[in-house]
Amino acid sequence: MKLKRLLIHTIIYAAILNNCAIAQFRKYSNEFLNIGAGARGLGMGGAQIASVTDATAGYWNPAGLVNVKGDPQIAIMHAEYFSGIAKYDFAGLAIPSKDGKRTLGITYLRYGVDDIPNTLYLVEPDGSINYNNISSFSSADNALLLSYAQHHKKIHGFSTSIGGNAKIIYRKVGTFASAWGFGLDFGVQATKGNLKLSAVLRDATTTFNAWSFTFSDREKEILYLTNNDIPVKSNENTAPRLIIGGAYNFNLTKKLNLLAEANLHLTFDGKRNTVISSSFASIDPNIGLEANYNNALFLRAGISNFQRALSDGDLTNQKKVWIYQPSLGAGFKLGNAYIDYAFTNLANQSNPLYTHIFSIKLNLIKKVK
């Protein structure tokens, strides 16, 4: 078991160094910012930009922050992946103005892998293996989002709001490498009755990470002898992504509602394995449902990450089929708190890799003087 864990950590370590060493415009950059925030959104397959109305809006769509009224609201989430090897944390705070027209938001995200074995000194100069030379380090991706949202004028009967994020990114790999990054997001949300429409432009100005590396002379010598490149500096850019979505709330009875939302993720950095793939844009849909009983009990489901893959079986009978990433969720309201749970699959329905996620939202009610 220890050897298996050591192997997994070593693979992650090698992938991290390889990811840091190449300076280029990356199709998959800052991917930890695409995981999600809050068990409600993850339980709905990430279909959130139109219906989000709480402190997680700083992540999903900053324009949705205007729906936090009266008192500030805080949201927190913790999740662990790959049997606890990787940990993901989220915290969000929404602070509405007294007149209810504007809202400020602060969001913090961290994705980290701790206790990664440093095997650079595993092999002694004489060729023998000394496990006592193994030390450990952490690799963590951090992001701070500063959000602003406000109500906008009515357009064709739709009440609209606009918002934006300023993103500060800090990524660190032990003492070897670190990066600072900056970017901007913009969002709009429109509501008319039970219909909601929305759009978000993430990394609008192209988010970049500027990497710097620090290796001791001994570490450089080992990297050179093992045919590894010794990076000095590099830049990693994240291309803009447009997300458009719509949601509708069906009033089934006086106390029972069903919310349905669909989002389309449009990327413009070349063909991807998505439902629609072209040289101009690739389009990846996700769909979510939420049943709401008396605004106190919630059941959720969603699907996302549609891809074409080969079916199981021998090579002569394999066919191309669609696979997707399913998720389920539930939640309930207890006083001023919302407690949410999501059961998501990180892979797809044919190769499951499930994880449990919990999050809490709390309305910070001010004391009346």
Domain boundaries of the chain, sorted by first residue:
2-363
Specify whether the CB–CB gap between 259 and 290 falls below 8 A: yes
Confidence of residue 292 (pLDDT cuts 50, 70, 90): very high
Q: Is the dihedral of CA 195, 363, 62, 342 positive or negative?
A: negative
- pLDDT score of 21 more than 50: no
Q: Tell me which CATH homologous superfamily contains domain 2-363.
A: monomeric porin ompg (2.40.160.40)
Tell me the longest C-alpha to C-alpha distance in the chain.
78
Residue 351: per-residue pLDDT: 57
More confident residue, 242 or 138: 242
Confidence of residue 287 (pLDDT cuts 50, 70, 90): very high
Q: 135 is written with which tokens?
A: 């030390």
Phi and psi dihedrals of 298, rounded to 5? -130, 140
Across the chain, mean pLDDT equals 84
According to DSSP, residue 15 is labeled H
Round to whole Å and give the CA distance between 368 and 48: 34
Residue 262: per-residue pLDDT: 95
Other beta carbons within 10 Å of 148: 17
Phi and psi dihedrals of 247, rounded to 5? -140, 150
Round to whole Å and give the CA distance between 28 and 326: 22
Which of 25-34, 108-117, 193-202, 357-366 is predicted least confidently? 25-34
Long-range contacts of 215-222, Cβ-Cβ distance < 8 Å, separation of 24 or more:
215/176, 219/120, 219/176, 222/120, 222/121
Confidence of residue 132 (pLDDT cuts 50, 70, 90): confident
Confidence of residue 9 (pLDDT cuts 50, 70, 90): very low
Round to whole Å and give the CA distance between 326 and 344: 6
Residue 274: per-residue pLDDT: 82
Mean pLDDT, residues 237-241 taken together: 87
- pLDDT score of 241 more than 80: yes
What lies within 8 Å, CB to CB, of 353 at 6+ separation is 345, 346, 347
Round to whole Å and give the CA distance between 56 and 67: 11
Round to whole Å and give the CA distance between 243 and 266: 6
Residue 286: per-residue pLDDT: 93
Residue 126: per-residue pLDDT: 72
Confidence of residue 347 (pLDDT cuts 50, 70, 90): low
By three-state DSSP, how is residue 140 classified? strand
Specify whether the CB–CB gap between 87 and 78 falls below 8 A: yes
For the entire predicted model, the pTM comes to: 0.83
Round to whole Å and give the CA distance between 257 and 171: 42
Confidence of residue 84 (pLDDT cuts 50, 70, 90): confident
Which of 75-79, 324-328, 336-340 is predicted least confidently? 324-328
Q: 242 is written with which tokens?
A: 């447009």
Residue 230: per-residue pLDDT: 76
- Which residue type is seen at 16? I
- Which residue type is seen at 311? S
Round to whole Å and give the CA distance between 109 and 116: 20
| Selection from 163, 118, 152, 143 nearest residue 207 by Cα | 143
Which of 141-150, 159-168, 207-216 is predicted least confidently? 207-216
DSSP assignment of 22-86: --EEESS-SGGGGS-SSHHHHHTTT--TTT--STTHHHH-GGGGGG--SS-EEEEEEEEETTTTE
Mean pLDDT, residues 88-92 taken together: 94
- pLDDT score of 3 more than 50: no
- Give per-residue pLDDT as tens, 49-72: 999 999 999 999 999 999 998 889
Residue 127: per-residue pLDDT: 72
Which of 141-145, 270-274, 293-297 is predicted least confidently? 270-274
More confident residue, 323 or 143: 143
Query: How many angstroms separate the first and last alpha carbons of the chain?
Result: 59
| Selection from 215, 217, 219, 213 nearest residue 133 by Cα | 219
- Give per-residue pLDDT as tens, 179-221: 999 999 999 999 999 999 999 999 988 888 888 888 888 777 7
Residue 174: per-residue pLDDT: 82
- pLDDT score of 7 more than 50: no
Round to whole Å and give the CA distance between 55 and 62: 9
